[in-house]
C-alpha cells in the first residue's frame, strides 16, 4: 500500500489475514497503513468470508478511517459446488487445493503434508494434527523437535517433525511404530497397535532426542479384533536431530488386554529428561502417567531409564496416600485415598530432584455446590525410585459441562463455551498443570494450571460454582454464557522451598496470580497452555487466548505468549497468531487434542499449536463419476462453517 501517496485515494480491494493464502494484513496494522497512505477510507474485500468485518471495522473507525465492507465470492455456475444431504455437508464453493507448506505470515507450518480428501462423515480422520509437545536441544538451540497426534494415515499415530534452523523450516519424520515386540502380549513375535498418540518429546545433554508414545488397540466396538491392550513406548533419535528413530520402541509400561475386557487403560505418558550436566542423574529419562484400572482407581505412576531409554524400571507409585484426599473414588482404594488423578507431568531441578505434578479429584468439598479439585506435587530425591507424600500446589475449578451449556453437545466432557447464543466451541478440554524450576534459583518451583474460578472470574462478577451435572459428572456454574462473568485463566502457584509448600497451599485460588496482562484478557478465556523458564529466570506461558476481537463471543481463538519476571504478575503479553482461528470442526467439533506445550531457548519462545485456519475440503457431489472428473469443495461443519482442518504451526517469539 505504500505506493498510494496521493491524498484521497481509496483502496477498494484489500485482502486481510482473514483471507487464507491470499492476504496477510492484520486488522491491528491496517489503520496505520491506511493513514500513512493518506486514505480517508478503505474497503476490505476478503475472499469467501466476512469473519473479520466487526474486528476490522471497529479498528478502522476508532482510527478515524471509514471502513467499507465487501466480500469476494467464488461462484460456480451449473450446480457444481453444492453439497447435498447427510452425511455430506453443504458446500460453499469449488476450490483448488492449497499447497502443502503454507505459512501464515510469521506463523510457520510444522507438519509438511498436503490435506487428504476424507469422506465427509469421517472429517478429521486422515487429516488432523493436534495435541502438541515441543523441545529444544540444550546444546544447540537451532535443533527443535515437536510431537503431535497425526491422523493423516486414517487413525491417529505419533507424528514427528523437526527443524535444524531454529524453527524457520521443518521436515517430517516417520515414527517406526507399526509394531512392537509381542513379549507382553502372549509371547507372540509382534503386537500390531491400531492407534497411537499422547506425545511428549525431550532432549538429553548429548544431542539425543526422545519421544514417548501411547499405543493402543480399539477393540470390538470399532473393529473385529477384541484386543484392547495399551502401552507406552519410547523412541530415541540417536544424533540425527529428530530425522530418524530407533525400532522397535522400548517399552515403558505395557498392559495385556488381548481378551478385550476393556476395563484398563494406560494414559498420558509425559516425559522429562534430566538435562543438568551437574546432576547425579544426568540424562535419566522419567515418564509419568495415569493407570485407569479395573477397580475404578486412577493412580499416577512413574518409570525411569538410566541407559538412554533402552530399559525402564518397574512402575513407581507417585500418588501415595494422603490426608489431602478424604474422598476416595473407589470402594477399596488399595494404594491410598489419592486414587482419582490425571495429567501428570514430570520435571527436574539442576540438583537432580524429580518433581511430578498432577490433577487430583479427591479433595474435600464444603457442600453440594462446591466443585473444586486440587493440584498435587510429589518429589523424588533418588532418581525416581521413591516419592514423598504429595503436597498441595493449589485448588482449581475445571471447565464447565459441555452438554449443559452448548446445546447437549459432547456429553460427558467439559469444554470452553463461547459467550452468547451460539454453541460452536464444543471440543473437550481440561485444566492440567505444568511445572518448572527457576534455573537461577533451584529452590524456586513454579506450577501453572487452568482454573475457571480465579482472581478475575469470581462470584463477585457473576461466576458461581453450582456443583456437578449428575449425568456427566462435569462442573456447573452460573455465568458460563454471560459476558464478563465466568472465564478460564492460567493460574500461577510458586514454591520457594524446593516444593515443600506453595503459595496455593494455603491461598485461595481467587487470590493467586494469573497469566493475564491486558484488560481484555481479564474477562476472556485462556486455555490449553504451556510453560517454561528461560535461562535468565523469566517465566514464559503460552496459551490459547480469546481476548482478541470477537473471539470470546464467536468461539474463535488466538495464541498469546506472556512473561513474568517476578512470579507475582505477568507484565507482557504478545499476540502470536496473525489472525484468529475459528472453532475446530473436525471430529464433529468434539476433539482438538488434550494439551499443548511450549519451549524456550535463550530469549526466544517456541509455542507450537494446532491451528484451524486451513479450510477442510471434500469431494464435490456429482463429481468422480463417469463423465464428471473429481473436484473438491469446501463444506459446512456440524458446529461451524466453513469446515476447517487442524494443522500444526509455530512461531519464534522474542522474550523481553
Give residue 637's Cα distance to chain centre: 21
Overall pTM surpassing 0.85 (yes/no): yes
The pLDDT, as a whole number, for residue 38 is 76
- Mean pLDDT, residues 191-204 taken together: 98
| Separation of alpha carbons 599 and 579, rounded Å | 22
Does some domain include residue 421?
Answer: yes
Tell me the three state secondary structure of residue 530: strand
| Separation of alpha carbons 268 and 289, rounded Å | 5
Question: At residue 165, does pLDDT exceed 80?
Answer: yes
> Pick from 19, 46, 72: which residue ends a domain?
72
Residue-level length of the chain = 656
Phi, psi angles (nearest 5°) of residue 522: -75, 0
Peptide bond into 70 cis (omega under 30): no
Does some domain include residue 400?
Answer: yes
Does some domain include residue 100?
Answer: no
- Nearest alpha carbon to residue 509 among 370, 630, 386, 401: 370
Q: Strand order of the sheet with strand 558-564?
A: 526-533, 539-545, 558-564, 572-575
Does some domain include residue 219?
Answer: no
Does some domain include residue 554?
Answer: yes
How many domains are contained in the chain?
2
Q: Summarize pLDDT for 325-341 with one digit per residue, the tens.
A: 999 999 999 999 999 99
Tell me the three state secondary structure of residue 639: coil
Q: Which residue has the cell 519464534?
A: 652
Give Cα separations from 123 to 141, 196, 222, 359 (angstroms).
Answer: 37, 18, 17, 32
- Nearest alpha carbon to residue 207 among 241, 178, 257: 241
Q: And the C-alpha cell for 75?
A: 461462484
Helix (H) or strand (E) holding 402: helix 402-405
Phi, psi angles (nearest 5°) of residue 36: -65, -30
Range of the domain at 18: 11-72
Residue 400 binned pLDDT confidence (cut-offs 50, 70, 90): very high
Tell me the three state secondary structure of residue 509: helix
Residue 146 binned pLDDT confidence (cut-offs 50, 70, 90): very high
The C-alpha R_g of the chain, in whole angstroms, comes to 25
Q: Where are the alpha helices (DSSP H) in 516-617?
A: 551-554
Q: Give the 3-state secondary structure percentages of the chain, helix then strand then coil, rounded to 5.
A: 5, 35, 55
Does some domain include residue 3?
Answer: no
Q: Summarize pLDDT for 442-481 with one digit per residue, the tens.
A: 999 999 999 999 999 999 999 999 999 999 999 999 999 9
Does some domain include residue 472?
Answer: yes
Q: Which residues, listed in sequence order, are joined to residue 79 by a DSSP beta bridge? A: none
Percent of the chain with pLDDT over 90: 84
Between strands 41-47 and 11-14, the pairing is parallel
DSSP 400: B
- Nearest alpha carbon to residue 217 among 163, 162, 259, 276: 259
| Separation of alpha carbons 460 and 398, rounded Å | 19
> Pick from 588, 620, 643: which residue ends a domain?
588
Does some domain include residue 236?
Answer: no
> Pick from 588, 608, 642: which residue ends a domain?
588
Q: Summarize pLDDT for 522-555 with one digit per residue, the tens.
A: 999 999 999 999 999 999 999 999 999 999 999 9
Amino acid at each position: 500500500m505504500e505506493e498510494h501517496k496521493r491524498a484521497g485515494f481509496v483502496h477498494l480491494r484489500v485482502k486481510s489475514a482473514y483471507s487464507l493464502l491470499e492476504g496477510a494484513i492484520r486488522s491491528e496494522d491496517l489503520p496505520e497503513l491506511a493513514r500513512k497512505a493518506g486514505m480517508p477510507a478503505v474497503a476490505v474485500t476478503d475472499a469467501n468470508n466476512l469473519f473479520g468485518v466487526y474486528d476490522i471495522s471497529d479498528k478502522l473507525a476508532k482510527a478515524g478511517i471509514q471502513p467499507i465492507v465487501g466480500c469476494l465470492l467464488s461462484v460456480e455456475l451449473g450446480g457444481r459446488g453444492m453439497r447435498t444431504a447427510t452425511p455430506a455437508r453443504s458446500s460453499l464453493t469449488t476450490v483448488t487445493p492449497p499447497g502443502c507448506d503454507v505459512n501464515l505470515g510469521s506463523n510457520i507450518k510444522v507438519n509438511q503434508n498436503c490435506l487428504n480428501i476424507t469422506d465427509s462423515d469421517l472429517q478429521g480422520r486422515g487429516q488432523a494434527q493436534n495435541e502438541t509437545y515441543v523441545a529444544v536441544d540444550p546444546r544447540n538451540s537451532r535443533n527443535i523437535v515437536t510431537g503431535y497426534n497425526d491422523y493423516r494415515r486414517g487413525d491417529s499415530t505419533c507424528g514427528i517433525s523437526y527443524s535444524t534452523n531454529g524453527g524457520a523450516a521443518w521436515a517430517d519424520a516417520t515414527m517406526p511404530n507399526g509394531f512392537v515386540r509381542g513379549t507382553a502380549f502372549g509371547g507372540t513375535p509382534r503386537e500390531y497397535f491400531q492407534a497411537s498418540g499422547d506425545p511428549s518429546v525431550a532432549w538429553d545433554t548429548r544431542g539425543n532426542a526422545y519421544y514417548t508414545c501411547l499405543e493402543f488397540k480399539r477393540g470390538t466396538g470399532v473393529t473385529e479384533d477384541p484386543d484392547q491392550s495399551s502401552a507406552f513406548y519410547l523412541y530415541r533419535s540417536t544424533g540425527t536431530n529428530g530425522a530418524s528413530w530407533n525400532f522397535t520402541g522400548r517399552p515403558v509400561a505395557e498392559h495385556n488386554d488381548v481378551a478385550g475386557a476393556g476395563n484398563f487403560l494406560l494414559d498420558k505418558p509425559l516425559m522429562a529428561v534430566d538435562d543438568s550436566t551437574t546432576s547425579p542423574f544426568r540424562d535419566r529419562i522419567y515418564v509419568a502417567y495415569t493407570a485407569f484400572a479395573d477397580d475404578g482407581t486412577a493412580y499416577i505412576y512413574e518409570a525411569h531409564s538410566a541407559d538412554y531409554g533402552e530399559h525402564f524400571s518397574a512402575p513407581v507409585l507417585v500418588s501415595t496416600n494422603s490426608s489431602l484426599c478424604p474422598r476416595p473414588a473407589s470402594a477399596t482404594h488399595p494404594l491410598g485415598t489419592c486414587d482419582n488423578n490425571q495429567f501428570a507431568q514430570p520435571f527436574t531441578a539442576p540438583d537432580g530432584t524429580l518433581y511430578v505434578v498432577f490433577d487430583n479429584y479427591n479433595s474435600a468439598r464444603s457442600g453440594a455446590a462446591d466443585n473444586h479439585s486440587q493440584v498435587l506435587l510429589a518429589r523424588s530425591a533418588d532418581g525416581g525410585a521413591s516419592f514423598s507424600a504429595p503436597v498441595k500446589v493449589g485448588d482449581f475449578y475445571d471447565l464447565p459441562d459441555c452438554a449443559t451449556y452448548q446445546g447437549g453437545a459432547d456429553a460427558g466432557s467439559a469444554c470452553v463455551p463461547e459467550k452468547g447464543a451460539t454453541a460452536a466451541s464444543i471440543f473437550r478440554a481440561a485444566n492440567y498443570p505444568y511445572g518448572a524450576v527457576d534455573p537461577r534459583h533451584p529452590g524456586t518451583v513454579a506450577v501453572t494450571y487452568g482454573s475457571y474460578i480465579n482472581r478475575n472470574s469470581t462470584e463477585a462478577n457473576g461466576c458461581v460454582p453450582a456443583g456437578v451435572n449428575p449425568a456427566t459428572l462435569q462442573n456447573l456454574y452460573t455465568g458460563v454464557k454471560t459476558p464478563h462473568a465466568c472465564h478460564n485463566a492460567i493460574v500461577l502457584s510458586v514454591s520457594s522451598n524446593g516444593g515443600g509448600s506453595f503459595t496455593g497451599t494455603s491461598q485461595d485460588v481467587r487470590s493467586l496470580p494469573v497469566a493475564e496482562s491486558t484488560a481484555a484478557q481479564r474477562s476472556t478465556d485462556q486455555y490449553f497452555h504451556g510453560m517454561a523458564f528461560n535461562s535468565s529466570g523469566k517465566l514464559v506461558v503460552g496459551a490459547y487466548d480469546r481476548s482478541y476481537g470477537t473471539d470470546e463471543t464467536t468461539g474463535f481463538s488466538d495464541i498469546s505468549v506472556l512473561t513474568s519476571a517476578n512470579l507475582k504478575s505477568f507484565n507482557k503479553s504478545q499476540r502470536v497468531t496473525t489472525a484468529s482461528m475459528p472453532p475446530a470442526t473436525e471430529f464433529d467439533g468434539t476433539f482438538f487434542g488434550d494439551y499443548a506445550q511450549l519451549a524456550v531457548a535463550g530469549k526466544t519462545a517456541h509455542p507450537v499449536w494446532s491451528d484451524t485456519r486451513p479450510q477442510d475440503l471434500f469431494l464435490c457431489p456429482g463429481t468422480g463419476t463417469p463423465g464428471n472428473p473429481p473436484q473438491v469443495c469446501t463444506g459446512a461443519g456440524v458446529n461451524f462453517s466453513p469446515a476447517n482442518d487442524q494443522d500444526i504451526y509455530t512461531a519464534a517469539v522474542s522474550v523481553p
